[in-house]
Amino acid sequence: MHIPGLSLAVVKDGKVIKAAGYGLANVETKTPATAETVYKTASLSKPVIAAAVMLLVQDGRVGLDDKISRYLDDSPGTWQEITIRRLLTHTSGLVRDPSDYRPYEDRRIIAVIRDAYSLPLAFQPGEKWLYSNIGYYVLAEVISRASGRLYPKVSIFCSQTYASEFFEPQFPRGLSYRSSPGSEKTCAATKVGWSAIQSHALRDRKRAYTKGQPAEICRAM
């Protein structure tokens, strides 16, 4: 099939009945999709962050009604009433992205967050709903500080070490922050093609890639 493809796994009673790819992982290069094709998860990383936050809440290390100033002591005054709960539910009032958002750059999470310090809130916390990427960067930083495991790059939400600590050891391996040489053979392209990904021409808000057979992912859920 010469169309953008997919990979799937059928798991029954813990056993893989079928794992296969259909169509093309990259139409531009005519690379077929297989059971081990890597796909960009992008903002699907947000549920991972939310789950990690709730595990910390369960352990008593984070409170849903904690003010974020407890974790970010240099946060601006306009952020003082923002709570963990508001961040999780996109009701914090934080804007979607910093004004000069560069998701392809290797930057510390806190650096991305501080880019938004000077921006006004879209509304007062709790008044409305607005999808916010920056809010989940803040949550990632909160996780890092509350757990005592600091990560220097935005890859916190997709590092294998991080996944292993907060989730089961069998969590799918191969979660990565950026593509590696030769990975165009296993990574599915976006709508603008692999060359655009490599040249950083595409705005990709999280750049998380899930690697490994779909069956592994199914078992972890």
Report, as residue numbers or ranges, the catalytic residues.
43
Long-range contacts of 18-24 (CB under 8 A, 24+ apart): 19/213, 19/214, 19/215
CA–CA dist 219, 165 (Å, integer): 17
